[in-house]
Homo-oligomer: A and B are copies of this chain.
Amino acid sequence: MKTPTLEDVAARAGVSTATVSRCLNAPEKVVERTRLRVMEAVRDLGYAPNFSARALAEKRTRTIGAVIPTMENAIFAEGLQAFQDVLQGGGYTLLIASSGYDPKVEEDQIRTLVARGAEGLLLVGYDRAPAIAAFLEAQNVPSVIAWAHDTTQPGCSVGFDNRAAMRALVTHALELGHRRVAMISAPLQGNDRARERHAGVLAALKERGLELEAMVETPYDLEGGGEALQQVLRDKPETTLVVCGNDVLAAGALEGARIIGLDVPADISITGFDDIALARIVRPALATVRVPHRDMGEAAARAVVSLVETGRAENRILEAQMCLRASLGTPKRPS
């Protein structure tokens, strides 16, 4: 019992395959009487078009690929969900791959997606080998960069200014009186979002003639944040503010502070970035930066589709807002 084909439907409806195809793809080109007959045959047979055949004939796969660092993080999941919703509405299918923050894996995934017929790509950040851009160029596969924004870089992007957002947050903290500032970040290597956030911290400090007391790079998990905080305070006990590159590290740092008996924010302030649900549930709640994931995902989807269909799309820069909460307070002994 094989699945019915266009031809089966045509035979049953007593028309040619071309007519059936037209009924499905351009119903207005077929007179109603015929169309109804064909549709009935389609229903009777439970016919469903074969995507591979259609793609081959049309030379279009209607597939978009996305390579994200990890699925196991709410920030990408939410944006990706929005991305997919919009794509699906436009008749596209999304192929997702994750790189685990490994550039080598990311490159493989990109090639795989393209080989799989992706007509356009969603990529996170700008940090990748130039060969990849060349490859995509050669294969004529457009891409949009999300979760970052850099006007000096070519290519379409839908993101926000990680540096400016972080800078604003730290500037605010400095206005509260903080002077001894340390940072805990995910590894900067191969992660321009992390680098931009770092740069934002440095910029805010420099504006006031300050320097970063300490900088710890640590793997992206709660434990890493906790250990990093303890290390920072061992080396620089004068620190009054620990800026974290993301909420997960900040939540870990909060826990680290608790372990060594420090009160947040009385003894030390801690900030995060991303405003994931976790930021609101920990105590004290995390001061952080809210990133408009859904909006970004939706805008990115529209951009990719536009790129695929018309060859052009506009950059879109979204607003990332400071989100002040209890973990950031006035320093006990402003120096």
Query: Which of A's residues lie within 8 Å of B, judged by CB?
Result: 1, 3, 46, 48-53, 55-56, 61, 70-74, 77-78, 80-81, 84, 88, 93-98, 112, 114-117, 138-140, 221-222, 248, 251-252, 255, 258, 277-278, 280-283
Nearest residue (CB) in B for A225 is: B281
Chain B residues, Cβ within 8 Å of A49: 115
B46 touching A56, Cβ below 8 Å: no
B93 touching A116, Cβ below 8 Å: yes
A95 touching B98, Cβ below 8 Å: no
Report the bound CA distance from A335 to B320 in whole Å. 52
18 residue pairs from A and B, CB less than 8 Å apart: A3-B139, A46-B138, A49-B115, A50-B56, A51-B117, A71-B71, A71-B78, A72-B78, A72-B81, A93-B112, A95-B95, A96-B96, A222-B281, A251-B281, A255-B281, A258-B283, A278-B278, A278-B281
Number of copies: 2
Minimum distance in angstroms from A224 CB to a CB of chain B: 12
Contact partner, A52, options B3, B52, B138, B248, Cβ 8 Å: B52
Chain B residues, Cβ within 8 Å of A93: 95, 112, 116
Minimum distance in angstroms from A137 CB to a CB of chain B: 11
Report the bound CA distance from A49 to B72 in whole Å. 32
A50 touching B251, Cβ below 8 Å: no
Contact partner, A282, options B53, B56, B140, B282, Cβ 8 Å: B282
Report the bound CA distance from A88 to B96 in whole Å. 12
Minimum distance in angstroms from A286 CB to a CB of chain B: 11
Chain B residues, Cβ within 8 Å of A282: 281-282
Chain B residues, Cβ within 8 Å of A248: 277
Report the bound CA distance from A53 to B112 in whole Å. 16
Contact partner, A74, options B72, B251, B281, Cβ 8 Å: B72
Report the bound CA distance from A3 to B141 in whole Å. 11
B283 touching A283, Cβ below 8 Å: yes
Chain B residues, Cβ within 8 Å of A78: 71-72
Report the bound CA distance from A56 to B72 in whole Å. 34
Chain B residues, Cβ within 8 Å of A3: 139-140
Minimum distance in angstroms from A161 CB to a CB of chain B: 25
Chain B residues, Cβ within 8 Å of A50: 56, 117
Chain B residues, Cβ within 8 Å of A221: 277
